[in-house]
Amino acid sequence: MDAQNATDQRKFDRAVAYFNAGRYYEAHEDWEDLWNEAEGAHRLWLQGLIQYAAAFVHFSRGYYPRGFSVLMRQATEKVEGYDGDTHQIQWPRLADDLGVWISHGEQVGAGADLVADAPGPVPLIHYVDGFQPDPLPLEDDDDD
């Protein structure tokens, strides 16, 4: 792996760490940096991850249900059928775990409450067995 690919993987790993810590905005930002340089189907898949993270920003803040609903739908459209580089995450598992949240987005679009009717905890992102992530250092949370 060349130096740029290693740095990109470390940035992706940091985005995963942010996402799993509920810091969806920061995950969104790191994935967006990678999206800016990506091409083709991989670029579209990254955009889907960005949109999922943005949807969970709305959820975690408890506002803008329409934005949550739209972002969940758009993200799902972008990632459907993707079978390329997933940076060592268990993509099929994540896609499956997001299923109840995609349904929740549809229900919110039809009038369900964004937070009160939530299906449970936001799913975590898992890596394939044997892969050890090496994320770039997490930055301090500016919201404190």
Domain ranges (residues) in the chain: 3-109
Beta bridge partners of 89: 127
The pLDDT tens digits for 58-111 are 999 999 999 999 999 999 999 999 999 999 999 999 999 999 999 999 999 999
Is the pLDDT score of 143 beyond 70?
Answer: no
The confidence band for 15, taking pLDDT boundaries of 50, 70 and 90, is very high
Burial of 72 (0-12, 13-18, 19+ CB in 10 A): buried
Q: Can you name the CATH fold of 3-109? A: Hyaluronidase domain-like (1.10.3450)
> Amino acid identity, residue 29?
E
Model's pTM, two decimal places?
A: 0.94
What local confidence, expressed as pLDDT, does residue 142 receive?
56
User: Can you spell out the DSSP letters for 119-133?
Assistant: -SSPPPP-BPTT---
The confidence band for 4, taking pLDDT boundaries of 50, 70 and 90, is confident
The confidence band for 3, taking pLDDT boundaries of 50, 70 and 90, is confident
What local confidence, expressed as pLDDT, does residue 1 receive?
58
The pLDDT tens digits for 26-51 are 999 999 999 999 999 999 999 999 99
Is the pLDDT score of 144 beyond 50?
Answer: no
Half-sphere exposure of 83 (CA within 13 A, CB side): 1
List the end-to-end C-alpha distance of the chain, in Å, as a whole number: 37
- From residue 54, alpha-carbon distances to 1, 7, 65, 133 in Å are 30, 23, 12, 23
Count helices and strands in the chain by DSSP H and E runs: 6, 0
What local confidence, expressed as pLDDT, does residue 141 receive?
64
